[in-house]
Amino acid sequence: MSDNSAYDWKHLEASAENPIWITSAEQLSECCEKWRNLPLIALDTEFQRVDTFYPLPGLIQVADDQACYLIDPLEISDFSSLSTLFKDEGVVKVMHAATEDLELFHKEIGALPVPLFDTQIAAALINWGFSMGLQRMLESCLSVQLEKHETTSNWLQRPLTSSQEKYAALDVAYLPAIYEIQRQELLSRGHFHWVEQECSAMLADAAIDDVDGFSYYTRFTQMWRLPKHKLAALRDLTAWREQQARKRNVPRNRILRNQAILQIIEQWPKGLADLSRLDEIKKSILRTDGEVILGFLKGGEASADKVEPEPIPQPLHYFWNKHLKKLKAIARRLAEENNTAPEMLLRRKELEQLIRSGVDEGEYRLPQAMSAWRKEMLDAALMDELQRIEKLRVQGS
């Protein structure tokens, strides 16, 4: 690893008073060429997402070892040089709470920043706190008070105010210093591979683009009792909503709220008159898309026969209620022993997947997508407890 001592946060803090604007593809290309010779850069974005499905980019911020930069996506359309930088694994990209930023990069840049170091994930892994905000993190380790008064700014306006410019630049100015503190702590514990694995998983999730939306219906967990033809209609209706939201670039709720979908499936209207009587259906959607919506109901049986919907898992048997607590307690104990946030070690969804693997398939297995360090820490202890629980379950059946 190259020396990171050149990243003086006080110097970068001062540079945030007058950040460098990048407003052309040529200027961006020159900067990216320079940044590819550095050990790391810090990244952030500012965007708006009020009336759209996709975030509307307002700024891309970068900090290097000399200054803070504001890339203007309203002026630049060619991001090929930034895409090349993102793919350069010799330059660490430091971000904080990067999930939504990655979504924006995936769509607007067509690439994701690798390798990624997310300071929020790292903070949880070294037990500073789970889902720790940048403001609290800076107060804790640099004694810096970060103002957040521009959080709800209009980032699409031009020109930005000097206050907006400074706010945006400061969001990246401190990240190299935070990175170095966290890196040293993780290395001293022998746990740096933890953050590498978690950030790799984060990037893998960001690269998944469920454009057709045919798995979205499984989020309606309360509908697990639906007969096959209604389940197919739920699948097709939610997939259509997903596709239309993307195509029209509007929030899902602008087309159909979840409650409207539930009402349609439960009431099963036979025609436009029935559909119009549902209080969750907007008149505008009834007028433009009513026949399409009814078509999914009329075609439910045929659709189910053509492509049978995967069932929505039913809730775990009440037998598991008290045992879930025991399994969570084991994970919590292991997290405490390894001085990491319990929420990072085992999530509720993963625990349920583990239980279902044994109940449904006869063999308890940790989820395949789970990072290796967590599997290694959890596997033996959880499997021992599950063997004991399984004996009780068999005896009680």
Annotate 284-353 with three-state secondary structure.
HHHHHHHHHHHHHHHCHHHHHHHCCCCCCCCCCCCCHHHHHHHHHHHHHHHHHHCCCCHHHHCCHHHHHH
Q: Structurally, how many domains does the chain consist of?
A: 3
Whether residues 153 and 229 share a domain: the answer is no
- Residue 36's domain is classified under what CATH number? 3.30.420.10
* Boundary of a domain, candidates 180, 207, 234: 207
pLDDT digits (tens, 9 = 90+) for 12-44: 999 999 999 999 999 999 999 999 999 999 999
Contact 212, 239 (CB under 8 A): yes
Written as six digits, the tokens of 209 are 């683009």
Whether omega for the bond prior to residue 115 falls within 30 degrees of 0, making it cis, is yes
Residue 344 lies in a domain: yes
Question: What is the model's pLDDT at position 397?
Answer: 57
Encoded tokens for 154: 């209009």
**Is there a contact between 207 and 238 (Cβ–Cβ < 8 Å)?**
no
Report the distance separating Cα 283 and Cα 46, nearest Å: 35
Whether 4 is in a domain gets the answer: no
Strand partners, 92: 40
| One domain for residues 163 and 63 | yes
The pLDDT score that the predictor gives to residue 270 is 94
Give the pLDDT of residue 292: 97
Residues 66 and 172 in one domain: yes
**Pairing of the two strands 68-71 and 92-95:** unpaired
312 part of a folded domain: no
Whether residues 176 and 72 share a domain: the answer is yes
8 A C-beta contact, residue 60 and residue 113:
no
* DSSP three-state, residue 163: helix
The last residue of one of the domains, among 284, 306, 328, is: 306
Q: Which residues 6+ apart lie within 8 Å of 346 measured at CB? A: 328, 331, 374, 378
Do 202 and 239 lie in one domain? The reply is no
Q: Long-range contacts made by residues 84-88, C-beta under 8 angstroms, separation at least 24? A: 84/32, 84/36, 85/32, 85/35, 85/36, 85/41, 86/111, 86/112, 86/113, 86/114, 87/111, 87/114, 88/36
- Per the structure, the complete domain to which residue 239 belongs is given by 216-306
Average pLDDT for consecutive 10-residue bins of the chain (397 residues)? Answer: 74 98 99 98 97 97 98 98 99 98 97 99 98 96 87 91 97 98 98 98 92 92 95 96 97 97 96 96 95 93 85 91 94 98 95 93 93 98 95 77
The verdict on 181 and 40 lying in the same domain is yes
311 inside domain: no
Q: Is the dihedral of CA 276, 281, 287, 290 positive or negative?
A: negative
- Token duo for residue 33: 């060429």
Span 147-197, pLDDT tens digits = 877 777 899 999 999 999 999 999 999 999 999 999 999 999 999 999 999
Residue 95 domain flag: yes
Residues 29 and 166 in one domain: yes
Q: What is the C-alpha separation between 264 and 280, in angstroms, rounded? A: 9
In-domain check, residue 113: yes
363 in a domain, yes or no?
Answer: yes
Statement to judge: residues 162 and 18 lie in one domain: yes
The answer to whether 84 and 31 have CB atoms below 8 angstroms apart is no
Q: Does some domain include residue 315?
A: no
Query: Do residues 351 and 250 both lie within one domain?
Result: no
CATH of residue 355: 1.10.150.80
Give the SS3 label for residue 208. Answer: coil
Indicate whether 161 and 220 sit together in one domain: no
* Residue where one domain finishes, among candidates 306, 329, 351: 306
Per-residue confidence (pLDDT) for residue 1, from 0 to 100: 38
| Residue 119 in tokens | 């300071």
Same domain, 258 and 180: no
* Torsion of the alpha carbons at 247, 250, 255 and 258, rounded to the nearest 10: 110
173 and 105 together in one domain: yes
